Amino acid sequence: MTDVALEAAALALEDTQRRPWRVLFAAAWSQHRTKIGLGITALLVGTAIVGQFVTPYPPDQGVANQLPFAPPSSDVWLGTDTLGRDVFSRFLAGGLSVLVLSGIATALGMVLGVAVGLVAAYSRGKLDDVLMRSMDVLLSLPQIVFALVLAATVGPELWLLVVAVGVTTMPRAARVTRGAAVEVVERDFVRAAEAIGLPRRRILFSEVLPNISSPLIVETTLRMSFNVAVVAGLSFLGFGLQPPAADWGLMINENKNGLTLQPWPVLLPVIAIALLTIGTSLIGDGLSRAAIGIERGRTSRG
Amino acid sequence: MHGITGFVVRRVLLGLVTLWVTSVVIFAATQALPGDAARSILGRSATPESLAELRRQLGLDKPILTQYWEWISGIFTGDLGTSLANSLPVTEIMGERLVYSFFLMLIAAIISVPLGIALGAISARRRDGAFDQTTSIATLGLAALPEFVVGITLAVIFSTTVFHVLPSVIVTEPGVGPWNYPKELVLPVVTLVIAVVPYTARIMRASTVEILESDFVEMARLKGLPERRVLWRHAVPNALAPTFQVTALNLAYLAGGIVVVEAVFNYPGIGLLLIDSVRARDMPTVQAIALLIAALYVVLNLLADLGTILVSPRLRTSLE
């Protein structure tokens, strides 16, 4: 790893004290893993967004004169799926749902979690205990199990999936926020803001929040990576998008039994989901190393 | 109360409270939500009479607190209710499935915990060397992959397209234990191991690196002890404490992981039962499995906290 670059970024800290995230991105960018991660992620996000407009065949209809599980040919480049639909078209059209659903869920979870964590860190005492213990309760069910319990009651609805993944992201975000904010709320500028009588909401969101932006950016990236896996997993289990929609997770579910006849309708989405989770977690790892490097630079220089 | 006993008592009480609140959450999510289980089972075309009859059968006509009380008191007497899918007691349906799931998790844990610890310790010893670099990249990549992606990739490689050496689905007979299917167990176990090892290895590496830089390890080296002995006898035991926490969390995470892994390999454990029950809207079974998984998490966390206290002399004395 390039410690020199981290040092340089840490030295630049004084000038950019007001925009810690700029320093963070600069230090993260200096590492190969961040660039590779961004490259992979950009490629897949690009495919997911543009893909649906350039499908060679309609993704939800069978191709004329093609049997189910037809092998790749000049007509259908990667063959057909269990219902005789073009695999490549379904792949191109099937990425957006995973990205949008996990993106909204992550945003929802981070907003809720940051709010809970900030209030807990600032109020301390009883409220802090109650808030963080209730976060522990939510942690005791794995994300997928929580989503399945809700799906049993309401059915496989997309809004429900987003709420389930978002609500289970919240306690994890709250822990990180509280951990980072606990030390910030003790600093002089918060005391000063209290002394001049700023309202509590102002103190939390304009004084404390900007000072914990680095750990929160790292956490958001890592949560996004996890949530892509959870959302794709739920769709694979049949509790995400419903047929005949084109969706990577659903594609794997529908074509799993034809693996020996035609591996492409399973392999293509599997590879895409694998690359997407690896790409986002590489970015997360690059950011987190950068944040640690900056923190070290700061403490070692007093 | 002070000392270790006080700590243990407080910690156990906290675990019980967490579990109780979790039971309320599960109950609220399945029975008290505005959606009506009877209607969702019978569909929109159901007659009011059949709806009322089913509601009476499910106990949905009683006050919500009574329903909760009947459910939670049933758990203490070993009565988890009756499955809506096949009218058998939930305990009976879960019995053999539990054996299958626990066996799968146990084998996965027995392999992955020592493997993760060893990988982490060796990486720390050869810090920034080729082994460390490779492990670091491999664990980062593998940790990111969802279990179903790993499972299906393994199935593609070992049982369908590339080689035909291992079965990718398990077909069991009633009354036959999971240990009778060693070949069928390989892929599910390997999938779970791949899901857990990266986390254990990474935390173990980080904590061993820290310990190897500490004074007492330097002392042991200055005494002229061989490096191998310094690592395994002095550094590793002291690096285990943080690893305990992460390992416990990951074993609890295995409980979530088995849901997906069992679905991939059609393995007849409680994970597959949960999915089937969710599809069939079999609420009593869903509630029972969810509570069981939550209990597993709470117990493992409790054990991790107690284990941390036991292996860290500093923490132990600070409580006394």
Interface of B with A in 241-280 (CB under 8 A): 252-253, 255-257, 259-260, 263-264, 274-275, 277-279
Residues B272-277 have a mean pLDDT of 94
Interface of A with B in 100-139 (CB under 8 A): 133-134, 136-139
Name the average pLDDT for chain A. Answer: 89
Range name among A196-205, B40-49, B133-142, B291-300 with the lowest pLDDT average: B40-49
Cβ atoms B294, A141 nearer than 8 A: yes
Q: CATH assignment of A95-242? A: 1.10.3720.10
Chain B residues whose CB is inside 8 A of the A175 CB are none
Between B59 and B72, where is the model more confident? B72
Interface of A with B in 211-250 (CB under 8 A): 225, 229-230, 232-233, 236-239
Q: Considering chain B, what percentage of its residues have pLDDT values greater than 90? A: 30
Chain B residues whose CB is inside 8 A of the A277 CB are 144-146, 149
pLDDT of A7-61, one tens digit each?
A: 655 555 444 455 677 888 989 998 888 999 999 999 999 999 999 999 999 998 8
Nearest-Cα distance to chain A for B224, in Å, is 32
Chain A residues whose CB is inside 8 A of the B252 CB are 142
Say if the Cβ atoms of B290 and A140 lie within 8 Å: no
| Pick from B29, B141, B293: CB nearest A142 | B293
DSSP category for residue B209:
H
Cβ atoms B121, B208 nearer than 8 A: yes
Interface of B with A in 148-187 (CB under 8 A): 148-149, 152-153, 155-156, 160-161, 168
Nearest-by-CA chain A residue for B250:
A142
Between B175 and A273, where is the model more confident? A273
Question: CA-CA distance, B242 to B248, in Å (whole number)?
Answer: 10
pLDDT of A147-180, one tens digit each?
A: 999 988 888 889 999 999 999 999 999 999 999 9
Question: CA-CA distance, B142 to B117, in Å (whole number)?
Answer: 16
Q: Provide the residue type at A74 as one letter.
A: S
Burial class from Cβ neighbours inside 10 Å (0-12, 13-18, 19+) for residue B250 reads buried
Chain A residues whose CB is inside 8 A of the B15 CB are none
Question: CA-CA distance, A92 to A85, in Å (whole number)?
Answer: 13
Cβ atoms A269, A248 nearer than 8 A: yes
Nearest-Cα distance to chain A for B298, in Å, is 7
Does the ipTM exceed 0.85? yes
Residue A300 binned pLDDT confidence (cut-offs 50, 70, 90): low
Structure tokens at A206: 């304009």
Say if the Cβ atoms of A233 and B30 lie within 8 Å: no
Residues A72-96 have a mean pLDDT of 92
Residue A60's pLDDT is: 86
What ranges do the domains of chain A cover?
A: 95-242
Chain A residues whose CB is inside 8 A of the B35 CB are 153-154
Residue B282 binned pLDDT confidence (cut-offs 50, 70, 90): confident
Chain B residues whose CB is inside 8 A of the A237 CB are 259-260, 263, 275
Cβ atoms A158, A101 nearer than 8 A: yes
Which residue, among B40, B152, B283, would best test binding to A if mutated, counting the most A CBs under 10 Å from its CB?
B152
Cβ atoms A266, A255 nearer than 8 A: yes
Interface of A with B in 262-281 (CB under 8 A): 263, 266-267, 270, 273-274, 277-278, 280-281
Interface of B with A in 67-126 (CB under 8 A): none
Please write down the long-range contacts of B170-177, taking CB distance under 8 Å and 24 or more positions apart.
Answer: B170/B265, B170/B266, B170/B267, B170/B268, B172/B100, B172/B268, B174/B96, B175/B96, B177/B99, B177/B103
Residue B173's pLDDT is: 76
| Pick from B30, B148, B161: CB nearest A260 | B161
Residue B37 binned pLDDT confidence (cut-offs 50, 70, 90): low
Question: CA-CA distance, A29 to A294, in Å (whole number)?
Answer: 13
Question: CA-CA distance, A49 to B202, in Å (whole number)?
Answer: 34
pLDDT of A271-299, one tens digit each?
A: 999 999 999 999 999 999 898 888 887 76
Burial class from Cβ neighbours inside 10 Å (0-12, 13-18, 19+) for residue A52 reads middle
Nearest-Cα distance to chain B for A285, in Å, is 8
Residue B316's pLDDT is: 64
Range name among A104-113, A138-147, B83-92 with the lowest pLDDT average: B83-92
DSSP category for residue A62:
B
Most confident range (mean pLDDT) of A226-235, B19-28, B94-103 is: A226-235
pLDDT at residue B290 is higher than 90 = yes
| Pick from B29, B40, B260: CB nearest A237 | B260
pLDDT at residue B32 is higher than 70 = no
Residue B35's pLDDT is: 54
Closest to B93 in 3D by CA, of B227, B295, B282: B282
Chain B residues whose CB is inside 8 A of the A232 CB are 146, 148-149
Q: Tell me the angle at which helices B90-125 and B270-279 cross, rounded to the nearest 10 degrees.
A: 130
| Pick from A144, A263, A280: CB nearest B161 | A263
| Pick from A145, A152, A233: CB nearest B148 | A233
Between A88 and B29, where is the model more confident? A88
Residue A3's pLDDT is: 60
Closest to B98 in 3D by CA, of B304, B263, B288, B284: B288
Q: Which residues of A170-191 are buried (b: 16+ CB within 10 A; e: fewer)?
A: bbbbbbbbbebbbebbeeeebe
Q: Does B43 touch chain A (CB under 8 A)?
A: no
Say if the Cβ atoms of B35 and A153 lie within 8 Å: yes
Cis peptide before A68 (omega within 30 of 0): no
Please count the residue pairs, one from chain A and one from chain B, whose beta carbons lie less than 8 angstroms apart: 140
Residue A9's pLDDT is: 57
Chain A residues whose CB is inside 8 A of the B145 CB are 229, 274, 277-278
Q: How many CB atoms lie within 10 A of CB B225?
A: 15
DSSP category for residue B223:
T
Residues A77-83 have a mean pLDDT of 90
Residues A240-252 have a mean pLDDT of 93
Between B212 and A266, where is the model more confident? A266
Chain A residues whose CB is inside 8 A of the B205 CB are none
Chain A residues whose CB is inside 8 A of the B141 CB are 278, 281
Residue A15's pLDDT is: 47
Residue B160's pLDDT is: 76
Closest to B94 in 3D by CA, of B274, B279, B297, B270: B270
DSSP string, B14-40: HHHHHHHHHHHHHHIIIIISSS-HHHH
